Amino acid sequence: MSDRPSTFADSLGEKLLFLVDLALAVGAVVLSVALPRALDAPPLFVVASLFATILLLWAANGARTHPVTTFGTKREVEYAVARDETCDECGGHVEVGEKRRFAERTFAFGVPLSTGDWGVNVYCENCREGDGARESLTSDEERVDHDALLELA
């Protein structure tokens, strides 16, 4: 959640996403009952299909970490303050520096399905500013104000 105040567009967007989620859930439940009945499946199969659908919807709701419209591969970088560690770039001691956690994940409906490449890098103040990584971030990578993080340390 960001610190910026909520706007009418934000609240409308949240309500629309809720309605889309609700419509998808109702559609999945109806399909899980209608499809087995259309195939003349036994009643036990219909109940099992409905139970499995509800269980999957419940699990997917808790697993979603991004908007429901997130699909495909996304590279994310999270930043934090590093203290008393070794710089991965120059090998020097880091009193206060930057820790970058990166991951390349594949998403469907906002749920991370797999994590490919991932890792953690620690940089001292000199290497953090000299490597140009802040300028090379693409638009789908998360960005954080590094100087504000260091001021909080």
Number of domain units in the chain = 2
- pTM for the complete prediction? 0.46
Confirm if 99 and 120 have CB atoms less than 8 A apart. yes
Are residues 87 and 140 located together in one domain of the fold? yes
CA distance 92 to 123: 9
Confirm if 92 and 65 have CB atoms less than 8 A apart. no
Candidate ranges 4-13, 107-116, 131-140; pick with highest mean pLDDT? 107-116
Q: What are 90-108's pLDDT values in tens digits?
A: 999 998 889 999 999 888 8
Are residues 142 and 81 located together in one domain of the fold? yes
Residue type for position 30: V
Are residues 41 and 109 located together in one domain of the fold? no
> Which of 40, 63, 86 is where one domain is finished?
63
Asked if residue 2 belongs to a domain, the reply is: no
Asked if residue 34 belongs to a domain, the reply is: yes
CA distance 44 to 55: 16
Domain span holding position 79: 72-152
Are residues 37 and 91 located together in one domain of the fold? no
Are residues 127 and 83 located together in one domain of the fold? yes
Are residues 58 and 76 located together in one domain of the fold? no
Are residues 124 and 146 located together in one domain of the fold? yes
pLDDT confidence bin for 12, thresholds 50/70/90: low
